[in-house]
């Protein structure tokens, strides 16, 4: 299967790995991924659970992802999964 590919600055071809999902059970809501994504793909969700509040991240704008995987590198909980996208 052919996937969407890009070019590096020196014209080397590469296959972007686009954000597929964030596991909300693993996410601790630290916000690192939210800060590192320059394309506004990731957004916070706040849950009120009786006396405490929990925050986790969700894939808010999947269509804006460029497949750089920077978000996954910031996540100590390994909550991210990625995939190439068919061309």
Exposed, middle or buried, 74 (CB in 10 Å: 0-12/13-18/19+)? middle
| Residue 32 binds ligand SF4 (CB under 6 A) | yes
Name 74's Cβ contacts closer than 8 Å, sequence gap at least 6: 32, 33, 35, 36
- 10 Å Cβ neighbour count for 56? 18
Give the total of residues touching ligand SF4 (CB under 6 A): 26
Binding segment for ligand SF4 among 5-13, 31-39, 45-53 (CB under 6 A)?
A: 31-39
| Residue 15 binds ligand SF4 (CB under 6 A) | no
* Sign of CA pseudo-dihedral 53, 57, 59, 61: positive
| Residue (13 or 71) nearer to ligand SF4, CB | 71
Q: Among residue numbers 36 through 75, which ones bind ligand SF4 (CB under 6 A)?
A: 36-37, 39, 41-42, 57, 65-71, 74-75
Q: Which two tokens stand for residue 24?
A: 């909300």
Which parts of this chain interact with ligand SF4 (CB under 6 A)? Answer: 19, 22, 27-33, 36-37, 39, 41-42, 57, 65-71, 74-75, 77, 79
């Amino acid at each position: 299967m052919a996937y969407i590919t890009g070019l590096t600055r020196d014209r080397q071809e590469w296959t972007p790995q686009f954000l597929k999902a964030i596991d909300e059970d693993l996410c601790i809501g630290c916000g690192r991924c939210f800060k590192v994504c320059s394309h506004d793909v990731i957004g916070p969700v706040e849950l009120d659970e009786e006396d405490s509040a929990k925050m986790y991240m969700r894939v808010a704008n999947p269509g804006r992802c460029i497949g750089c995987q920077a978000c996954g590198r910031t996540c100590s909980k390994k909550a991210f999964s990625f995939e190439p996208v068919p061309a």
